[in-house]
Amino acid sequence: GGRGCTAYDVVVNSGFFRTLQADPLYLEFFLTVAMEGLSEKYGVELELTGWRVLRNRKFLGSISAQNIRARPRPHIQELPG
């Protein structure tokens, strides 16, 4: 529309993304859940329609290396009684 906007990149495993592309309904569900998560995490209101998956590009601008943080597993504790 010629106006400025904020864009969020969502990094998705390529194998999982191929699965999403095979089913448009599954893709739309995934993107809706992802946008709701971003909205809740950053406290912003996102428009859930009008999104685009880039066709001939994997990303815009430059992309940095991504690391997956491993969360510590919960310790199982036996309670008396």
Q: How confident is the model at residue 19 (pLDDT cuts 50, 70, 90)?
A: very high
Q: Quick one: pLDDT at residue 66?
A: 72
Kindly state the tokens that stand for 38: 């971003």
Min mean pLDDT across 21-35, 42-56, 61-75 is at 61-75
Q: What is the mean pLDDT of residues 33-53?
A: 84
40: left (phi over 0), alpha (psi -120 to 50) or beta: alpha
Q: How confident is the model at residue 25 (pLDDT cuts 50, 70, 90)?
A: very high
Distance of alpha carbon 31 from the chain centroid: 7
Alpha helices (H) along 1-81: 14-22, 24-42
